[in-house]
Amino acid sequence: MNKYTILIVFNLPFVVFGIFSAIARYKENSLGRLSLLTRLFFWTFIGAGIIFAQQIYNFLIRNDLTNSQPLSLADVVLVTGVSFCFFLSIRLYSRLDNTERKLSDLQEKLSIMLSDDKSNE
Amino acid sequence: MVTTSPAQIVGIVLPAYNEGKVIGQVLDELPRKLTIDGKTFEVRIIVVNDASDDSTVHEIIKRRNVTLINHILNSGAGAATRTGLHLAKDVGCNYVLTMDADGQHSASDVRKLINAIVKGNSDFIIGSRLKLQKGNMPTVKKVGNIGLGIITFVLLGVYASDTQSGLKAMNKKALNTISFHSNDYAFCSEMIWSAHKARLRIKELPIEAIYTDYSLSRGQKNITGALDIIKQLIKRRFLHLINE
């Protein structure tokens, strides 16, 4: 199988999953329009880079903008790892943020409840 | 039949962490009742003790007409302010003022901001320590605050001369609209950003900054404090882009 095809096969699922999870969260109203557009732009950008990797490489070589070697299998593994890290970091960052918010919310409500309005009147 | 409408409530929210030395005096100087343009306002003082380990709680419970909320975990000035605002909303405050508990603000400035917000020309008022020459803010803090104002403008697109001021006043509309997620001092900028996004009428009023040896030893450390705020603002901006 062509190395560029392998690149697409291994990486595109992350992109597709990233796009679908953003749309799903938007539909659940847990993501705003701006965040949806940012995520869609981000994943589309990565997806385009993966799908058109060969054309981009050829373009760069033709215009003497790079002198790197053509894609190797090691590169495919590396790029897959980077895509996975992107995917994971966005997911973890938003989960961490949501957890922090829930924890703050819990502390807020609990403190108010426990204070039971002890106004020293 | 003559009906009298119930007095409107002005909430004063003070986040406090280890302010035992001064909080008693700060609370004593705050008004418990106000009359503005012939209307009487009941003042509700809400102190959020952010898990202090000194005599803060002891000093608060000695005072009358003060509502004390104890945070179980030390969470930061932003989180404590949010808890205070939450209670102010629950008890039906018509206007809310937030202020520092370290004695940095004068009681006359508190009255000035309450007066201004009650008059109704703005929804959210920031007490700016940089708009008044009076006061003894150290130069390094002045420069830091100007810098943070510029960074807030670059990152969040809203400018205020003193984004880090703890003295702010808001009406009910602002109280119900403004939301922020920062737990530490970055909440000051985030509150202004939230008010700006909600298209609230924001105004700045000059206030005096009273710095004592005590207040200088408290609060944000100059450079590390400013860097922390910048880090938090970048994080907030990024999360706003991907997770809100």
pLDDT digits (tens, 9 = 90+) for A16-38: 998 998 999 899 888 889 889 99
- Distance between B234 CA and the closest CA of chain A, angstroms: 14
Task: Verify whether the Cβ–Cβ distance A120 to B73 is below 8 Å.
Answer: no
Q: What's the token pair of residue B133? A: 């020459």
- Distance between A68 CA and the closest CA of chain B, angstroms: 33
Of A108, A120, A121, the CB nearest to B83: A108
Residue type, B59: E
Q: What's the token pair of residue B114? A: 């309450």
Chain B nearest-CA residue for A109: B83
CA distance linking residue B150 with residue A107, whole number of Å: 33
pLDDT > 80? residue B57: yes
Task: Verify whether the Cβ–Cβ distance A111 to B72 is below 8 Å.
Answer: yes
**pLDDT level of residue B191 (50, 70, 90 thresholds):** very high
pLDDT of residue A37: 93
CA atoms within 13 A on the CB side of B36: 21
pLDDT > 70? residue B114: yes
The complex's ipTM works out to: 0.78
Name beta bridge partners: B66.
B45
pLDDT of residue A4: 86
Q: Considering only CB atoms, which chain B residues are within 8 Å of A38?
A: 241-242
Mutate to test the interface with B, among A115, A116, A121 (most CBs of B within 10 A): A115
- Distance between B138 CA and the closest CA of chain A, angstroms: 33
- Chain A residues touching chain B at CB-CB below 8 Å: 31-32, 34-35, 38-39, 90, 93-94, 97-98, 100-101, 104, 107-112, 114-115, 117-121
pLDDT of residue B5: 62
- Positive or negative, the CA dihedral B138, B141, B181, B150 is positive
**pLDDT level of residue A7 (50, 70, 90 thresholds):** confident
Task: Verify whether the Cβ–Cβ distance A35 to B68 is below 8 Å.
Answer: no
Q: What is the pLDDT of residues B9-19, one digit of tens each?
A: 999 999 999 99
* Percentage of chain B lying above the pLDDT 90 cut: 57
Q: Considering only CB atoms, which chain B residues are within 8 Å of A117?
A: 67, 91
Q: What is the pLDDT of residues A35-84, one digit of tens each?
A: 899 999 999 999 999 899 889 988 988 888 888 888 788 888 888 888 88
What does the pLDDT average to over B149-164? 91
Higher-scoring residue by pLDDT: B223, B146: B146
CA dihedral of B144, B228, B191, B84, whole degrees rounded to 10: -110
User: By three-state DSSP, how is residue B22 classified?
Assistant: coil
Q: What is the pLDDT of residues B171-182, one digit of tens each?
A: 999 999 999 988
pLDDT > 80? residue B69: yes
- Report the mean per-residue pLDDT for chain B: 89
Higher-scoring residue by pLDDT: B221, B101: B101
Q: What's the token pair of residue B145? A: 């605050």
pLDDT > 90? residue B117: yes
Q: Considering only CB atoms, which chain A residues are within 8 Å of B48?
A: 111
Task: Verify whether the Cβ–Cβ distance A100 to B70 is below 8 Å.
Answer: no
Q: Considering only CB atoms, which chain B residues are within 8 Å of A94?
A: 239, 242-243
Q: Which long-range contacts (CB under 8 A, 24 or more apart) does B151-157 make?
A: B151/B230, B151/B233, B152/B189, B152/B192, B152/B193, B152/B233, B155/B233, B155/B234, B155/B237, B156/B189, B156/B190, B156/B192, B156/B193, B156/B196, B156/B233, B156/B237, B157/B193, B157/B196
Q: Considering only CB atoms, which chain A residues are within 8 Å of B71?
A: 107, 111
CA distance linking residue B77 with residue B219, whole number of Å: 9
